[in-house]
A and B are shown apart, each in its own frame.
Chain A
Amino acid sequence: MTLRVLDPRQAPQGDAMRMALALPSLDGAIVGMIDNAKIGTERLFDFVEEILRKEHGVREFIRRRKPDASRPVPPGMLAQMSGADAVLSAIGD
Chain B
Amino acid sequence: MTRTEGFPGERQMSSSAGYASAVLEVADAAEANELFQRKGWTDGLPVVAPTEDAVARFLDAAGLAPGDIIGVEPVRRRSISAEKLAIAAVMAGCLPEYFPVSVAIIKAMCRPEYALHGSTASTGGSAPFIVVNGPVRLEIGMNATHNALGNAARANATIGRSVRLVLLNVLGGFPGQLDRSTLGHPGKFTFCVAEDEEDSGWLPLSVERGIPAGTSAITVMQVQSPHQIMNEWTHDPREILDTYASAIRNNMLTYSIWEGNYAFVIPKQHREIFAAAGWSKQNIREYVYEVARVKRGDWRAVGKAAVAGRKDEEKVYCALRSPDDLLVVAAGGPAGGFGAIVPPWYGKKSLAVTVAIDV
Contact = CB atoms under 8 A, between A and B. Distances in A.
A92 to B, nearest CB: 13
A6 B75 contact: no
A11 B21 CA distance: 8
Interface stretch (B45-53, B137-145, B297-305): B45-53
A55 interface: no
Interface string A1-45: 011111111110110000000000000000000000000000000
B170 A7 contact: no
A93 interface: yes
B99 to A, nearest CB: 15
B24 A4 contact: yes
B87 A6 contact: yes
B308 interface: no
Contacts of B75: 71-72
A89 interface: no
B52 A6 contact: yes
Contacts of B123: 93
B25 A4 contact: yes
B115 A70 contact: yes
A72 B116 CA distance: 12
Contacts of A60: none
Interface stretch (B12-20, B189-197, B207-215, B323-331): B12-20
A14 B76 CA distance: 10
A2 B51 CA distance: 11
Contacts of A71: 75, 115, 118
A2 B117 CA distance: 38
A2 B2 CA distance: 15
Nearest to B16: A4
B25 A13 contact: no
B122 A70 contact: yes
Contacts of A69: 118
A5 B79 CA distance: 21
B98 interface: no
Given A13-B77, A13-B78, A71-B75, A5 B118 contact: no
B interface secondary structure, majority: mixed
A69 B15 CA distance: 41
A50 interface: no
B284 interface: no
A14 B50 contact: no
B23 A8 contact: no
B24 A10 contact: no
Given A3-B27, A3-B32, A70-B118, A8 B88 contact: yes
Contact of B51 (A4, A7, A68): A4
B251 interface: no
B350 to A, nearest CB: 8
Contacts of B19: 6
Contact of A3 (B15, B22, B51, B169): B51
B25 A7 contact: no
B119 interface: yes
A93 B75 CA distance: 21
A8 B165 contact: yes
A11 B12 CA distance: 14
Given A3-B26, A70-B346, A71-B115, A10 B78 contact: yes
Interface string A55-93: 000000000000011111000000000000000000001
Contacts of A7: 12, 21-24, 87
Nearest to A2: B25
Interface of A: 2-11, 13-14, 68-72, 93
Query: Nearest 5 CB-CB pairs, A to B?
Result: A70-B118, A6-B21, A8-B169, A10-B170, A7-B22
Given A8-B41, A11-B20, A70-B118, 18 more contacts: A3-B27, A3-B32, A3-B49, A4-B23, A4-B52, A5-B26, A6-B19, A6-B52, A7-B12, A8-B87, A8-B91, A10-B78, A13-B78, A69-B118, A70-B119, A70-B122, A72-B75, A93-B123
Interface of B: 12, 15, 19-29, 31-32, 35-36, 41, 49-52, 55, 75, 77-80, 83-84, 87-88, 91, 115, 117-119, 122-123, 165, 169-172, 346, 349-350
